[in-house]
Chains A and B, each alone.
Chain A
Amino acid sequence: MNIAVAIDQIPQDELPSASEAGPAPKRIVVAYGFWIFLLSDIIMFAALFASYAVLVRSTAGGPTGAQLFNQTTVAIETACLLVSSYTCGLMSLAINSRRYLRTYLGALITLVLGAMFLSLEIREFLGMIAIGAAPQRSAFLSAFFTLVGCHGLHVALGLIWLVVMMVQVAVFGFAARVQHRLLCFSLFWHALDIVWVGVFTVVYLMGVSS
Chain B
Amino acid sequence: MHASAPSELLVYTIGLFVAVLLTATSFWAANTTLLWPGGVFLGLAVLAIAQMGIHLVFFLHITSGPESTNNVLALAFGVLIVIVVIAGTMWIVADMNTNMMMPSGAPMSMRMQH
Contact = CB atoms under 8 A, between A and B. Distances in A.
Contacts of A187: 60
B20 A82 contact: yes
A75 interface: yes
Interface in B24-42: 26-27, 29-31, 37, 40-41
Nearest to A199: B48
Contacts of A201: 26, 44-45, 47-48
A51 B16 CA distance: 31
23 contacts: A28-B67, A35-B74, A39-B77, A40-B78, A43-B82, A43-B85, A49-B86, A50-B86, A50-B88, A50-B89, A53-B86, A54-B89, A79-B23, A83-B16, A86-B13, A86-B15, A89-B59, A97-B5, A190-B59, A194-B56, A208-B31, A209-B40, A209-B41
A191 B12 contact: no
Contacts of A51: 89
A40 B30 CA distance: 30
A22 B5 CA distance: 28
Interface of B: 5, 8-9, 12-13, 15-16, 19-20, 23, 26-27, 29-31, 37, 40-41, 44-45, 47-48, 51-52, 55-56, 59-60, 66-67, 70-71, 74-75, 77-78, 81-82, 85-86, 88-90, 93
Interface of A: 15, 28, 31-32, 35-36, 39-40, 42-43, 46-47, 49-51, 53-54, 71, 75, 78-79, 82-83, 85-86, 89-90, 93, 96-97, 187, 190-191, 193-194, 197-198, 200-202, 205-206, 208-210
A205 B27 contact: yes
A193 B70 contact: no
A46 B66 contact: no
Contacts of B81: 43, 46
A53 B26 contact: no
Contacts of A97: 5
Given A187-B60, A194-B55, A39 B26 contact: no
A97 B5 CA distance: 8
Contacts of B8: 93, 96
Contacts of B51: 197
Q: Which 9 A-B pairs have the closest CB atoms?
A: A39-B78, A50-B89, A205-B30, A201-B48, A89-B12, A46-B82, A190-B59, A86-B16, A209-B30
B85 A32 contact: no
B40 to A, nearest CB: 5
Nearest to B35: A209
B86 A197 contact: no
Contacts of B26: 200-201, 205
